[in-house]
Chain A
């Protein structure tokens, strides 16, 4: 047993190191792509030079100087500014500095974007939007998860019934993504019936009373939330149902049934229990996934979450924000993967045997 413990620790360390290396590679790839291999620097340098020239031109102190002299001064300031920002070094070297900063979560300042409070700190910009995303997409994910689980279990126990057949027939509706249902919901409830808002999170001007404010936010959540619930509903329930059915046709379940195990115990002990690991994995991954927001749904509904920020950052070439977004997401996912690995290593006897030698 002592040997198995040592082996397990070795497995955990190995896993953590591999996953961390993977995170490093992912972050480096993001740096290369988000900087267009150094091209964003060229844009920044050009803007810097322009800015300096404009400043000098507007400064009456320098207005009497001949153009050549002025250009020389501009060059001097430019060189100094490059050094100050660290732009004088080649991109290859700087890319590793960026990577170190990103991995230590020193996210730095945004190039153009600001938080609602006016701050340039990437951390603030991201943290400010996170609650909006969690509010919408984590709620959607939790509702979906529960609905699919409960209805899936219900269907699996009544498989072959009319309602079961209805769910099977309607499963293809989930081929249409949530944002697409969103457009239809806007068309029906906002444009045609005029009972719900087109998008956004609050009315303009927003209500000041906290209760009215909460209600207003809830009102704005109805359509995006519904679009995600509708899009996933039938396939989600069908998937869970089939998943449970496969487990409930296993020999040991049949044996238990033959032995006369009561139906409730059969469900909880013989069907739900062995299906728990994949359900937990799915839950954890979609939970993390829900925190990254959904670029397209947020764009369609103009929902000010992380997805919209990511999209705006991409549109503005704001590499620090893009990088910050990717790094946080990568860390969260990597941590989830490692924790799940360890949990299963502890719980699942098969994995224990594999690494316990």
Chain B
């Protein structure tokens, strides 16, 4: 039955495969996915990917948290809403636009006067997600005293707070700074009272800093961002001759990169890209190994018969009774395995699985064919008959199953990751879904967090499914007729 498939050869099969619309689509998707994984492995080497993914907050500190991917920005742009991107201003980068710094010694004293002014244009229709200032200071005995102020486009100036860096590197998280929030609350209240309104739902730091100063300020739900040029001013008093302060202001946006970021500010592009080679190799290795081991075991069982056959038959029954998924989960949970050991466990838990019975029946049929008898008559060894005459004959019918089974293993890995049992280091799609689920992406409306890895999983699954189904029709011509 498989002979035609064999004689077609690889080129022939490919040609037939492309003749099917779904088969051709599957091949196109698969080629694209393979190319993308090769690019990924070359562009972001394994060690770098793990380092980035496992990196402390330091690696990602300049990224916004849970930022939407850039395609959301384009989409929203069409609907007339311009989502904010991250704005950075840094005094150590002197060529940057919108940065002014002066540091002058006060004559006759050991003191220096610092003046930093960051200015930037804000033309977005939504508020930033967070505002941080990073300081790197040089000082000997006393730390500098810094006074930080905010100037809105209309010229309204708000004194935010006095800040004393405790260390060479210190940071000011404006968004969660209690003093700043207090100052801003009273500022907003004052403005509202002047308008004859009362505050209803208090504003967050970002909203208060960027609010249009009218009645809409009374509630966090109605407030609108004010467009124009903003200024952040840092005035400071420094002690000591070679004391100095550099500052970096980051106004975090709501969009970032191709795929957005997660709750740890990590760029999801890394996980989206690296999930691909992992998924492909995981699925293919699992499917290939399991199919071939089952093939060999089934052939031995069917060809030799006797006690070997009986033993293998009992083992398949044992495997039927063992609950596969609870067993796998148990092994993964107890032994905290990395992805390749999980792969090995999956293979071991599958080698005596379902495929054996049908292949064995096929082998028992083929065993009686005249050409096998002829081989036996001229003295071919059993090993030779099994490896050279039987296995090649039963190989074609199992290939579609092999390809079609790949997505199953890809989803199995994703499922384990979803349960929190995946590889602890590697960025996989399942882990991204797990993170998104655990951090309430669905409740909070971070749909991109769930949709992107899902899309990749589905794309991969369909590529193999399409090819598998088309191959099935090619090697089993009976399916084609009906």
Query: Given A176-B411, A183-B433, does the pair A310, B326 have CB atoms closer than 8 Å?
Result: yes
Residues from chain A with Cβ under 8 Å of B464 in the complex: 175
Q: When each residue 351-378 of chain B gets 1 if its CB lies under 8 Å from chain A and 0 otherwise, what string results?
A: 0000000000000000000000000000
Asked if B445 and A191 sit within 8 Å, CB to CB, the answer is yes
Cβ distance B190 to chain A, nearest Cβ, rounded Å = 38
Are A34 and B418 within 8 A (Cβ)?
Answer: no
Interface check B439, CB cutoff 8 A: no
Task: Please give, as numbers and ranges, the residues of chain A lying within 8 Å of B167 by CB-CB distance.
Answer: none
The distance in angstroms between the C-alpha atoms of A331 and B321, with both chains bound, is 8
A interface majority secondary structure: helix
Which of A33, A177, A292, A330 contacts B415 (CB under 8 A)? A177
- Set of chain A residues within 8 Å of B411, measured between Cβ atoms: 176-177, 180
A48 contacts the other chain (Cβ, under 8 Å)?
A: no
Tell me if B221 counts as interface (CB < 8 A to partner A): no
Check: B292 CB closer than 8 A to any chain A CB. Answer: no
Q: Which of A18-26, A62-70, A81-89, A345-353 contacts B (4 or more CB under 8 A)?
A: A18-26
Contact of A311 among B314, B419, B433, B465 (CB under 8 A): B419
In contact, B461 and A22 (Cβ under 8 angstroms) = no
Q: Does B447 touch A at the CB level, under 8 Å?
A: yes
Expressed in whole angstroms, the Cα–Cα distance for A131 and B433 within the complex equals 30
Residue among A19, A22, A183, A190 making CB contact with B454, cutoff 8 Å: A183
Contacts of B415 in A (CB 8 A): 177, 179, 296
Whole-angstrom distance between the Cβ of A337 and the nearest chain B Cβ = 7
Compute how far the CA of A242 lies from the CA of B480 in the bound complex, rounded to whole angstroms. Answer: 11
Asked if B442 and A186 make an inter-chain contact with CB atoms under 8 angstroms apart, the answer reads yes
Number of interface residues of B (CB under 8 A): 46
* A25-B318 contact, Cβ under 8 Å, with A175-B404, A180-B411, A295-B419: yes
Complex interface: chain A residues within 8 A of B320 (CB): 333, 337
Interface contact A322-B326, CB-CB below 8 Å: yes
Return chain A residues, CB-CB under 8 Å to B482: 159, 242, 245-246, 249
- How many interface residues does chain A have, given as a range? 35 or more
State which of A172, A184, A296 has its C-beta within 8 Å of the C-beta of B466. Answer: A172
Among the listed A169, A190, A317, which residue makes an inter-chain contact with B22, where contact means beta carbons less than 8 Å apart? Answer: A169
Determine whether the beta carbon of A314 is less than 8 Å from that of B479.
no
Chain B residues closer than 8 Å to A311, beta-carbon distance: 329, 419
CA of A326 to CA of B404 in the docked complex: distance in angstroms? 29
**Other-chain contact of A34, B314, B321, B330, B451 (Cβ < 8 Å):** B330
Q: Are A299 and B321 in contact (CB under 8 A)?
A: no
Partner of A22, one of B314, B404, B408, B466: B314
Does B323 count as interface, using CB distance less than 8 angstroms? yes
**Cα separation A8 to B314 with both chains bound (whole Å):** 20
Question: Per a CB cutoff under 8 Å, which of B330, B447, B457, B465 touches A180?
Answer: B457
Task: Establish whether residues A299 and B318, one from each chain, have CB atoms under 8 Å apart when the complex forms.
Answer: no
B418 cross-chain contacts in A, Cβ below 8 A: 179, 296, 299-300
Q: In whole angstroms, what is the CA distance A159 to B320 when docked? A: 34
> Which of B331, B443, B450 is close to A183, meaning CB atoms less than 8 Å apart?
B450
Cβ–Cβ contact B326 & A175, under 8 A: no
State the CA gap A33–B323 with chains docked (Å). 13
Interface hits, B432-482 → A, CB 8 Å: 433, 437, 442-443, 445, 447, 450-451, 454, 457-458, 461-462, 464-466, 468-469, 478-479, 482
Cross-chain contact A22 with B333 (CB below 8 angstroms): no
Tell whether, in the assembled complex, residue B443 and residue A172 are in contact, meaning their CB atoms are under 8 Å apart. Answer: no
A168-197 near B? 1/0 per residue, CB < 8 Å:
010110011101100110110011100000
> Which residues does chain A contribute within 8 Å of B333, judged by CB atoms?
314-315
Q: Which residue of A36, A317, A337 contacts B317 across the interface (Cβ within 8 Å)?
A: A337
A191 to B451, CA, bound (A): 13
Query: With a CB–CB cut-off of 8 A, which chain B residues contact A159?
Result: 482
Chain B residues contacting A36 (CB-CB under 8 Å) are 334-335
A311 to B325 Cα, complex, angstroms: 10
Task: Name the B residues within 8 Å of A299 (CB-CB).
Answer: 418-419
At the interface, yes or no: B64 with Cβ under 8 Å from chain A? Answer: no
Taking the complex as formed, is A325 at the interface, i.e. its CB lies under 8 A from any CB of chain B?
yes
Main secondary structure, interface of B, reads helix
From residue B311, how far is it (CB to closest CB) to chain A in Å? Answer: 11
At the interface, yes or no: A9 with Cβ under 8 Å from chain B? no
Distance (Å) between the CB of A70 and the closest chain B CB?
35
How many angstroms between the C-alpha atoms of A300 and B458 in the bound complex? 18
**Which A residues are CB-close (under 8 A) to B408?**
175, 177
Residues of B within 8 A of A21 (CB): 314
For residue A329, CB closer than 8 A to chain B, the reply is: yes
A292 close to B329 (CB less than 8 A): no
Q: Tell me the complex Cα distance, A153–B364, Å.
A: 31
Residues of A within 8 A of B335 (CB): 36
Could you say which residues of chain B place their CB within 8 Å of the CB of A169?
22
Tell me the chain A residues, 256-309 only, with Cβ under 8 Å from chain B. 292, 295-296, 299-300
> Would you give the shortest CB distance from A161 to chain B, in whole angstroms?
13
Contact present for A314 and B469 (CB under 8 Å): no
Judging by beta carbons under 8 Å apart, are B326 and A295 in contact? yes
B327 within 8 Å of A (CB atoms)? yes
Q: Which residue of A lies closest to B464 (CB)?
A: A175
Q: Say whether, besides A36-B334, A172-B22, A180-B457, A295 and B329 are in contact (CB < 8 Å).
A: yes
- On chain B, the residues within 8 Å of A29 by CB distance are 322
Residues of chain A within 8 A (CB-CB) of B462 are: 172, 175
Q: CA A29 – CA B333 in complex, angstroms?
A: 17
Contacts of A330 on B, CB cut-off 8 Å? 321-322
Task: Answer whether residue A198 sits at the interface, using C-beta atoms and an 8 A cutoff.
Answer: yes
A334 within 8 A of B: yes
Closest B residue to A292 by CB, please name it. Answer: B323
CB distance from B482 to the nearest CB of A (A): 4
Cβ of B5 within 8 Å of any chain A Cβ, yes or no, is no
Which of A171, A190, A314 is most buried by chain B, counting CB atoms within 10 A of its CB? A314
Partner pick for B314 among A18, A198, A326, CB 8 A cutoff:
A18
Contact partner of B458 (CB less than 8 A), chosen from A23, A176, A198, is A176
Q: Which residue of A lies closest to B316 (CB)?
A: A22
Check A296–B318 contact: CB distance below 8 A: no
Residue of B nearest to A249 (CB): B482
B130 smallest CB distance to A (angstroms)? 24
Chain B residues near A180: list those with CB within 8 A: 411, 414, 454, 457
Cα of A296 to Cα of B412 in the assembled complex, Å: 10
Contacts of B329 in A (CB 8 A): 295, 310-311, 314
Is B407 an interface residue when CB atoms closer than 8 A count as contact? yes
Distance of A227 from chain B, by nearest CB (Å): 13
Provide the residues of chain A in CB contact with B334, threshold 8 Å: 33, 36, 314, 317
Complex: A177 Cα to B445 Cα, angstroms: 24
Q: Report whether B442 and A171 are in contact in the complex, using a CB–CB cutoff of 8 Å.
A: no
Interface residues of A (CB under 8 A from B): 18-19, 21-23, 25-26, 29-30, 33-34, 36, 159, 169, 171-172, 175-177, 179-180, 183-184, 186-187, 190-192, 198, 242, 245-246, 249, 292, 295-296, 299-300, 310-311, 314-315, 317, 322, 325-326, 329-330, 333-334, 337
Q: A171-B469, A175-B408, A329-B323 are in contact. List 10 more A-B contacts (CB 8 A).
A: A21-B314, A34-B330, A172-B465, A175-B465, A177-B415, A191-B443, A299-B418, A314-B329, A314-B334, A333-B320
**19 A-B residue contacts at CB 8 Å?**
A21-B314, A23-B321, A33-B327, A169-B22, A176-B407, A176-B411, A179-B415, A180-B411, A180-B457, A183-B437, A186-B442, A187-B447, A187-B450, A292-B326, A295-B325, A311-B329, A311-B419, A314-B334, A325-B326
Closest 6 CB pairs of A and B: A172-B465, A175-B465, A191-B442, A245-B482, A26-B321, A175-B407
